[in-house]
């Protein structure tokens, strides 16, 4: 994973670093706080290596999400893209075996290394020594509350573009859509996320 050649101006002006993790509404958080000059999904260690002076004194923060829900949403988006491609090509798409089958047969360690949408969240959040070095971790499950706390701390008058219910609908749906075998495998694949991010 790579990052910007220049430190984004909003990070410099606010003496901060926002680590935008795939699948955690980071684009919305970034747009609300800093506008649309989004550097993308850049890992913390990139800033540590590229901008060491800023890194040393910056307020570092990120938002994270339940690993099962995040993987499920990434899979759903992948399926949506495949359906769109099949429709564009006027082809039939074979019936999919569902998320549990995807976890059992396709979601491997190699996939986690190759596709950042499925990479462990901690891959984005640890420093060069593999240590979690954040001053604030917000949670998708309490996004509105945590965003409010962050906004107040940074003294930035910002509002997210959606209301709370938009962030509350996914967990309940996913809770009943993922079988026990898939949950067990996801816990193995994302063991470090569970260990360091406070999910159980």
User: How many structural domains is the chain composed of?
Assistant: 1
Report residue 118's pLDDT band, with 50, 70 and 90 as the boundaries. Answer: very high
Q: 76 lies in a domain?
A: yes
Q: 3 lies in a domain?
A: no
With pLDDT > 70 as the criterion, what percentage of the chain qualifies? 84
Q: How many beta carbons lie within 10 A of that of residue 64, not counting itself?
A: 26
pLDDT, mean of residues 107-122: 94
Q: In terms of pLDDT, which residue wins out, 42 or 93?
A: 42
Q: 1 lies in a domain?
A: no
Please give the structure tokens belonging to residue 175.
């809770």
Q: Find, among 182, 165, 162, 169, the residue nearest to 75 by Cα.
A: 182
Task: Find the domain containing 148 and state its range.
Answer: 9-193
Q: Please determine, for residue 164, whether its predicted confidence score (pLDDT) is greater than 60.
A: no
pLDDT, mean of residues 68-72: 93
Q: 89 lies in a domain?
A: yes
Q: 45 lies in a domain?
A: yes
Q: 200 lies in a domain?
A: no
Q: 58 lies in a domain?
A: yes
Which contiguous run of DSSP H or E holds residue 48? helix 44-50
Q: Find, among 100, 124, 127, 128, the residue nearest to 112 by Cα.
A: 124
What three-state secondary structure class fits 8?
A: coil
pLDDT of 107 = 93
Q: Please determine, for residue 169, whether its predicted confidence score (pLDDT) is greater than 60.
A: no
Q: 46 lies in a domain?
A: yes
Using CA atoms, how far apart are residues 171 and 68, in angstroms rounded to an integer?
9
pLDDT, mean of residues 165-181: 63
Tens of pLDDT along 121-160?
999 999 999 999 999 999 999 999 999 999 999 999 998 8
Stretch among 7-21, 42-56, 173-187 having the lowest mean pLDDT: 173-187
**Dihedral over Cα of 50, 33, 168, 40: its sign:** negative
Tens of pLDDT along 72-110?
989 988 887 665 454 444 544 454 578 999 999 999 999
pLDDT of 177 = 76
pLDDT of 87 = 44
What three-state secondary structure class fits 118?
A: coil
pLDDT of 82 = 60
pLDDT of 65 = 95
């Amino acid at each position: 994973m790579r990052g910007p050649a220049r430190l984004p101006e909003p990070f410099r002006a606010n003496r901060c670093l926002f680590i935008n993790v795939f699948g955690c509404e980071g684009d919305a958080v970034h747009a609300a706080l800093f506008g649309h000059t989004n550097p993308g999904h850049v890992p913390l260690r990139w800033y540590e290596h590229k901008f060491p002076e800023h890194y040393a004194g910056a307020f570092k923060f990120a938002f994270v999400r339940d690993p099962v829900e995040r993987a499920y949403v990434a899979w759903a988006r992948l399926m949506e893209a495949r359906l769109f491609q099949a429709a564009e090509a006027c082809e039939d798409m074979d019936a999919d075996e569902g998320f549990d089958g995807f976890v059992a047969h396709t979601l491997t360690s190699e996939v986690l290394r190759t596709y950042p949408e499925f990479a462990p969240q901690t891959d984005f959040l640890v420093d060069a020594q593999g240590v979690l070095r954040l001053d604030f971790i917000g949670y998708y499950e309490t996004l509105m509350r945590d965003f409010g706390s962050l906004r107040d701390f940074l003294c930035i008058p910002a509002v997210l573009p959606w209301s709370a219910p938009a962030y509350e609908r996914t967990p309940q749906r996913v809770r009943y859509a993922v079988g026990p075998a898939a949950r067990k495998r996801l816990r193995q694949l994302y063991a470090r996320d569970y260990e360091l991010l406070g999910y159980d």
